[in-house]
Amino acid sequence: MTTDPRLLRRRAFLTAAGAAVAGAAALPVLLRAGGPDLPTDRPELPDLPEIPLTTDADGVRVARLVAESTGTGLAYNGTSPGPLLRVREGDTVRVEFTNTVDAPSSLHLHGLPLTPEVDQPLHHVSPGESHTQEFPVAEGCAGTHWYHPHAHGDVERQLLAGLAGPIVVEGPLDREVPALAAADDRLVMFTRAGRDVVANGVDQPRITARSGLTRLRLLNSTAGDHLLLGCLREDGSAVPTHLVTTDVGPVEHPREVEEVLLAPGERAEVLVETVEAGRLALVRLPYSVYGPGGETNEERTLAVVEVPAGHAPMPPPDRLLPVEELDPADAVRTRQVVFGATPDGSFTIDGRIFDMDRVDAEARLDTLEIWEVVNEHGSDHPFHLHSYPVQVLDRDGVPEPYRAWRDTVNVPAGSTVRLLVPFRHGAGRTVYHCHILNHEDLGMMGVLEVTG
């Protein structure tokens, strides 16, 4: 029996990363000394401006994004974080991207399940050039996504300089689940500003709850910070929080969670019960990317949720939308992908540094594979695959307790995560990589070729 509180916590709680332990609910609530930091007089969380979409003669919804230099940094359409791209499932969308930055860049729509032909992660847009992506917004991908550059070798710098923005896809989830339709809907996009993680560009903003249920769309668009998030009352106890979506769509039944681990690139939407008047802290909890017992970040309040008196209780829904069940027995193969590093500080997959002219993995369209992602390195690496959403099968042999579609899955130091990967909707050449952008820039990326 261990006495390390971090270990206990990691075992005792259910996280979005799926670490479920039987009997977790019976364990005492957070092992912590006091209440969270609750700063006062903070500015309200700003809503990010929305990109005005136009509709062309064919009914295509058109959005324009320009990457530009602001003098002190980089921005999309003049703002950082970039403006919100809001689309609906079933829309046909055309995103026209222009690069006016003084370096090759590109626009990757992270989370929209686009075919390799549309996504083209290896295509760079030269200064002064434009590039267009036109696509139908897939059914079932309602949720919170984002966009960022993908110019290999320079991604981290461009993101830290200001190039990242949010995407919200609306769908039946938002209309057909009454509790979601009635909840106060807040997008909280985390980026890094200097040493601090900020929300929608603001340090420790206030979120004034506008109803008895608050839907927090949590988006980790930092370049490399794992965010273990929790919502705490003044006395340090956890507020009932219900996980409703992971990266690429809803879970079937909301799951009560006390913590959500968001690796860089990852999203989760949670419903927080905001009925009791008072102040809550949305807190970044200590987490070690070096495995249990490793050095952690310090706890820090990322936002203060103010709950005014008078909100009627709104029960969270007990059912969202069905999530397709994949049968591992249908897999045509199991493929191993190994994260590692070289002694001189490069990061590798299967012992190799990224080469855009080399195909590292070949697969057939309309097949299912199991990808066994092995992290042999001493720190966590979030696995990200373009174009083909995945489901987690198990983590270190522990079956995933619920079904959900994801595009980014944390693989903790020294562990193995098995994924179900169906190749659907389009063939072509794409990439998989670690979503710590410095690691990606330094070579932790591979090329996947899917043939029809």
Which residues bind to ligand C2O, rule: CB under 6 A? 108, 110, 121, 148, 150, 265, 384, 386, 431, 433, 435
Residue 398's DSSP bridge partners are 395
Residues in the chain: 452
Taking CB within 5 to 8 Å according to partner kind, which of ligand C2O, Cu ion, none is near residue 110?
A: ligand C2O
Q: How far is CA 200 from CA 16, 42, 80, 84, 207, in A?
A: 22, 13, 9, 11, 11
Taking CB within 5 to 8 Å according to partner kind, which of Cu ion, ligand C2O, none is near residue 150?
A: ligand C2O
Residue (283 or 448) nearer to ligand C2O, CB: 448
CB of 371 to Cu ion, least distance (A): 16
Taking CB within 5 to 8 Å according to partner kind, which of Cu ion, ligand C2O, none is near residue 434?
A: Cu ion
Taking CB within 5 to 8 Å according to partner kind, which of ligand C2O, Cu ion, none is near residue 386?
A: ligand C2O
Residue (152 or 381) nearer to Cu ion, CB: 381
Question: For residues 196, 201, 205 and 207, what is the CA-based torsion angle, rounded to 10 degrees?
Answer: -130
Residue (215 or 435) nearer to ligand C2O, CB: 435
- 450 burial (CB, 10 Å; 0-12 / 13-18 / 19+) is buried
CB of 338 to Cu ion, least distance (A): 12
Taking CB within 5 to 8 Å according to partner kind, which of ligand C2O, Cu ion, none is near residue 267?
A: none
CB of 201 to ligand C2O, least distance (A): 19
Residue (89 or 119) nearer to ligand C2O, CB: 119
Calpha distance 137→11 (Å, rounded): 38
CB of 437 to ligand C2O, least distance (A): 8
Taking CB within 5 to 8 Å according to partner kind, which of ligand C2O, Cu ion, none is near residue 436?
A: Cu ion
CB of 346 to Cu ion, least distance (A): 11
Taking CB within 5 to 8 Å according to partner kind, which of Cu ion, ligand C2O, none is near residue 433?
A: ligand C2O
Residue (217 or 433) nearer to Cu ion, CB: 433
Residue (121 or 162) nearer to ligand C2O, CB: 121
Taking CB within 5 to 8 Å according to partner kind, which of Cu ion, ligand C2O, none is near residue 439?
A: Cu ion
Taking CB within 5 to 8 Å according to partner kind, which of ligand C2O, Cu ion, none is near residue 108?
A: ligand C2O
CB of 430 to ligand C2O, least distance (A): 9
CB of 108 to Cu ion, least distance (A): 17
Calpha distance 201→186 (Å, rounded): 14
Taking CB within 5 to 8 Å according to partner kind, which of Cu ion, ligand C2O, none is near residue 121?
A: ligand C2O
Residue 336's DSSP bridge partners are 372
CB of 440 to ligand C2O, least distance (A): 7
Q: Biggest alpha carbon distance in the chain?
A: 67
Residue (283 or 436) nearer to ligand C2O, CB: 436
Residue (10 or 110) nearer to ligand C2O, CB: 110
Residue (242 or 386) nearer to ligand C2O, CB: 386
Calpha distance 146→130 (Å, rounded): 19
CB of 343 to Cu ion, least distance (A): 16
Where does this chain bind Cu ion (CB under 5 A)? Answer: 381, 434, 436, 439
CB of 433 to Cu ion, least distance (A): 8
Taking CB within 5 to 8 Å according to partner kind, which of Cu ion, ligand C2O, none is near residue 395?
A: none
Residue (284 or 381) nearer to Cu ion, CB: 381
Q: Which two tokens stand for residue 323?
A: 């999530």
Residues 6+ apart with CB under 8 A from 153: 441
CB of 434 to Cu ion, least distance (A): 3
Q: Which residue is nearest to ligand C2O (CB)?
A: 110
Residue (238 or 390) nearer to Cu ion, CB: 390
